[in-house]
A and B are shown apart, each in its own frame.
Chain A
């Protein structure tokens, strides 16, 4: 110990190890990284929304599914919205649980969130199968499937993240002090939920 302390430093120099520890205050670096990534995702969806609104503004006549196809299923989409919205709450219960150190509850709530996410995806696939029009059927079909499809892909990405969280929780890798991955995945999951609210409002409500 003394050997290290006695190392002759010119006045005011720090050992480099100080710098390694220096970022320890404030938000964890991994969470900042996730927030920045989400910022880029917001811009990605902004681009897709721009295509939707542009198409809607420049299309003459009625806006909606092509002639002869089914109308959009507001009830089914509303149910899916409720499912995804609920999953945001269950996710947050899991985060609060692990913050208290209750890893049992973390496993339970993560499992429920994962199940709700999968349910949403299955519901979306069912919805697609009932619509009777495709991505190539006019600009409504193109923008509809692109927006909802890329949102669905993000939900799928979220379920992959949740599966990893669940597996890691099963192995006892999280504690009240060490659970930054749970926080990061929960942020992403909330983001996916918020995007769905925007997609649902735009496509189903603002008609």
Chain B
């Protein structure tokens, strides 16, 4: 009897493959569902980006009329942010956070499944506007009075879809926070948690507090559109600027919701591929918390030109965020300093993140200055800035995570030469596509236009940008070939292919449904390092061990 009950969940029964994935509550399978779903939306929104760039390659209206063009950039922005970057990073969080904590699953597995399944539903609703006379076309920020007066159900579907996606985010955030506070293994104190877990924790708090405000705004907008409400209608006492306040009160924490998990990914990868611990673990943690706190006091820097916000306050607070962000930059650089660098693909994407996010951060500080902002508001300079943060930052983080954790998820290592081809095409294409936009913005090219004059002098840089966009698209081909070929017949990865030091590498690749048979002792934020290299902790006496094991048996029997 004793030997047969040794395998936890030994009697798991077999179900059909499809039903298993549709009904799973395993955080690892849900994580993979998140990631696959995110990439499908990424491809859809990427095609929209190619349409936009093709239209802008040369002056004149080529093949997108203005309304179609407006729908294209609205859908591109909405889908990329809400259905690609945030869910993709949440997907890695779903897969990795319980493993890094030494936990068997998330705190609420069924709520976890619900928060995933709301996503494709919300995303399809947003897209379904195309079937009913046109998708939302007011930009991803949905500014009133464009949105509260426009005709057509596309915008209503956009509102409902976003509300569903927001609900999914909130439920996911509750789950992450509860998991992190209640499911840590013995010895895993808060200050021994991997940095990725810390960034997911702060992200979850931001989602929990910021997303409901967007939900309130979306509801107000829906009431204005459908029930004759007047929240945003100035003719009967409403205030269109109120929408901007509500949207950006959510929207600026949302920027950190998008970037913090990517920072966490990079902070996992840099130490492993430098063969050093992260420099200044605690400073990094406190910088993350500081960013989270400050992110609630900077929203109006998106609204400098409305004339209804206090410029010095919001400018100062925004510049202040550069301090914790700068601390992180030094953490990363000092980690690399004199490290034994291994330039594998995850590391390349992490270094890409560092350099590109730095540019995005610096242009962000420039925009925090009202005299500059007044001149470049709603120009391509802003488009360049936000793509250096979202794409150069977060999306590089997503790909870094993909190459880093793919071996854990599948047991197979992605092909390195293909990965490097992907990285370099991606990196060069990205800079070709977005760096010229800085200059275009300074030259006065406004965002969200489908056409420009041949005399404006913007033609060459627009063409360069379009070439870059197609290069990014082409870089996805080696990536896809790599993922599919590796999945079918890739090099076996083993439990710990990168010699990582966090707990996800202490179990098999892929892990069993219950994650761990047993856990190593946890005396630091790098438990595996001490397992293989150090014995800096007191030796455990055999009698202690026996006692512990007896306890375990009693506890487990008691639980059953």
- Residue numbers of A with Cβ under 8 A of B are 1-5, 7, 9-23, 26, 29, 32-33, 36-37, 39-41, 43-48, 50-51, 54-55, 58-60, 134-136, 138-140, 142-143, 146, 150
CA distance A41 to B174 in the complex (A): 12
Known: A1-B2, A51-B231, A142-B223. A12 touches B521 (CB 8 A): yes
**In the complex, what residue of chain B is closest to A28 when comparing beta carbons?**
B182
Q: Are B545 and A2 in contact (CB-based, < 8 A)? A: no
Q: Are A138 and B236 in contact (CB-based, < 8 A)? A: yes
B258 nearest CB across to chain A (Å): 19
Most buried by A among B175, B236, B516: B236
Q: Are B174 and A40 in contact (CB-based, < 8 A)? A: yes
Contact with A along B527-560 (1 / 0, CB 8 A): 0000000000101100001101110110110010
Q: Main SS of chain A's interface residues?
A: helix
CA distance A54 to B220 in the complex (A): 13
Q: Are B548 and A14 in contact (CB-based, < 8 A)? A: yes
Q: Are A5 and B549 in contact (CB-based, < 8 A)? A: yes
B514 within 8 A of A: yes
Q: Are B213 and A55 in contact (CB-based, < 8 A)? A: no
A-B contact pairs, 14 of them (CB 8 A): A3-B2, A3-B3, A5-B550, A9-B518, A9-B545, A12-B521, A16-B519, A33-B178, A40-B170, A47-B213, A55-B242, A135-B223, A136-B230, A139-B230
Q: Main SS of chain B's interface residues?
A: helix
CA distance A41 to B521 in the complex (A): 39
Which A residues lie within 8 Å of B548 (CB)?
14, 18
Chain B, range 179-220, C-beta contacts under 8 Å to A: 181-186, 208-217, 219-220
Q: Are A59 and B237 in contact (CB-based, < 8 A)? A: yes
Which B residues lie within 8 Å of A54 (CB)?
239, 242, 245
Q: Are B183 and A18 in contact (CB-based, < 8 A)? A: no
CA distance A40 to B219 in the complex (A): 15
B113 within 8 A of A: no
Q: Are A19 and B183 in contact (CB-based, < 8 A)? A: yes
B446 within 8 A of A: no
B6 within 8 A of A: yes
A53 nearest CB across to chain B (Å): 10
Which A residues lie within 8 Å of B209 (CB)?
39-40, 43
Q: Are A143 and B231 in contact (CB-based, < 8 A)? A: yes
Among B13-21, B100-108, B367-375, B432-440, which stretch is in contact with chain A?
Answer: B100-108
Q: Are A23 and B211 in contact (CB-based, < 8 A)? A: no
Q: Are B6 and A50 in contact (CB-based, < 8 A)? A: no
B246 within 8 A of A: yes
B450 within 8 A of A: no
Q: Are B217 and A55 in contact (CB-based, < 8 A)? A: no
